[in-house]
Amino acid sequence: MATRKIVLHFPPSIVNKPLIYKLTKEYDIEFNILKASISPEEEGLLVLELNGETTKLNNAIKFLEKENIKIQSLDQDIIHNLEKCTHCGLCVPICPTFAFEKNPVTHEINFIKEKCIACEFCVKVCPYDALTVNFAV
Amino acid sequence: MAKSIQEINEKIKKRKAVVVTAEEMIEIVREKGESQAAKEVDVVTTGTFGPMCSSGAYINIGHSKPKIKIGGGKVYLNSVETYPGFAAVDIYIGATALPPDDPRNKIYPGEFRYGGGHVIEDFVSGKDIVLTANAYGTDCYPRKELKTYINIKDVNEAVLFNPRNAYQNYNVAVNLSDKIIYTYMGTLKPRLGNANYCSAGQLSPLLKDPHYKTIGIGTRIFLGGGVGYVAWWGTQHNPGVKRAVNGTPLSPAGTLAVIGDLKQMSSNWLKGTSMLGYGVTLTVGIGIPIPVLNEEIAYYTAIKDEDIYTQIVDYSKAYPEGIPEIIGSVNYAQLRSGKIKIDGKEVPTGALSSYAKAREIATILKDWIQSGKFLLTEYVEKLPSSDSEYKFKPLNLREI
Ligand code: SF4
Ligand code: SF4
């Protein structure tokens, strides 16, 4: 048995397909939903912890990729570069998991890594290139 | 008991002036009242550090051998377009300029990783910049092409000149539509997903002198880490908007045009800025000292975030279509708390202007004045004020 954490990005067009159901039914995978944000107009986001046999896991991921879902492994890390950060706070409200917090006294922005699911939304939003993706292999 | 700027400058020279930041002034007035504060405090320093698109720098690159006249030609700095429509070797690089091959929003939303704002940041930090130029050639300026590095320490003049900065208050941007939008106020999530604001509030220069009683043309300021001046009122200066009883405007109002020697400035306070789906801009640090000449000025410099209100505007429809519709009004204490209520819904707030950096600028300026190296100026001309007829007009579209 193996465990993998992955982030799925759905295009709006396939939000209504019963894909996750197939994972259990056809690939014998157990899963935990760590985070889900799905609505018909926007890109859906699902963070899953998958448990299953390694071959079955790999097949399941291949199946999802065929369905046009962008898969991201959660081994990616977001790095908050304090040299570049201006502590503007633009990233604070856009993070789906509230991984940025403003210190009420210093008004500086702290990044709480444990909360981050590496969706990369903030990476593009930060105007000063202070948030980057570190790919751990 | 009124003071004059001259008297304050005498004290500064003797290092006896009492200088406090706008945040400290709020506490002093809370404790002792305006009249005592006016007696004790000589200068209040302010600060702001936010993206300001109407920014740029002009540079005289010096003459090459043989000479070229780039006026009327094309000039690029690190592949970013500049404006060379002046004489032989003067160029202006604007904050929002892009390389011609940037995909813009063709790949939506565009990332705008490098543009005029970044060129200014790199140039001011002392990096070599690639200059390429094409011109048509004349008898006196025969050269037609130029490709070279330029460096800030070698050029003749390098001057930051921003037609509009230091907005006196600004909108809170929200998105009422069902899809995400990308604006100069940041990424706005659908259905009131977030509310973005852009003002240093109680630290912001023009909010601490709401009727422009001390800040005017000629005022010496902190600009981008160096010394600069208020050159004129800024473009879109709009002093006549509705104001609260304390004098602060309830919507975007006054602006400043500022100028200063880029060679003195630092990339800590001039930052190239990429707004997703919108473009490139420059984040500029500005700090302005306010001489506490009397009780009235003491009162203005102590206005708090709780007492500065601004308007909430829908950037999915009202703003782009120019509909003067306002969703509500909030103060900066509410905005800075991290969430506000709009129509009963709790909405998380985000800022474009860094309060932490605004505070740092006000503190640096305070140090400069306390150490006697920065003297205050009397303005040479007043800015158009709220009782003037000066107005911000829309474009009147006419059939041709
Ligand atoms: S958006 Fe970027 S610069 Fe602003 S607080 Fe977040 S990480 Fe820092
Ligand atoms: S990548 Fe950024 S936006 Fe996404 S969860 Fe992590 S911190 Fe939040």
In which order are the strands placed within the sheet that holds B80-81? B80-81, B74-77, B129-134, B145-150
Give me the phi and psi of A25, to 5 degrees please: -65, -50
pLDDT tens track for A44-91:
778 888 888 888 888 888 888 888 888 877 767 899 999 999 999 999
Whole-angstrom distance, CA of residue A10 vs CA of residue A29: 19
Ligand 1 binding pocket mutation candidate from A120, A126, A132 (most atoms within 8 A of CB): A126
Chain A touched by B173 (CB under 8 Å): no
B184 is written with which tokens? 């100069």
Chain B touched by A38 (CB under 8 Å): no
Ligand 2 center from residue B207 Cα (angstroms):
34
ipTM (interface predicted TM): 0.93
Q: Which candidate, B295, B378, B381, B308, places its Cα nearest to that of B25? A: B295
Put simply, whether the predicted model's pTM sits higher than 0.80 gets the answer yes
Of B50, B350, B359, the CB nearest to A94: B350
**CB-based pocket (< 6 A), ligand 1:** A 80, 85-91, 109, 126, 128, 130-131
pLDDT tens track for B70-103:
999 999 999 999 999 999 999 999 999 999 999 9
A4 is written with which tokens? 């993998």
In Å, how far is A50's CA from the nearest CA of chain B?
Answer: 30
Give one word for B178, left, alpha or beta, with left for phi > 0 and alpha for psi -120 to 50. Answer: alpha
pLDDT tens track for B195-236:
999 999 999 999 999 999 999 999 999 999 999 999 999 999
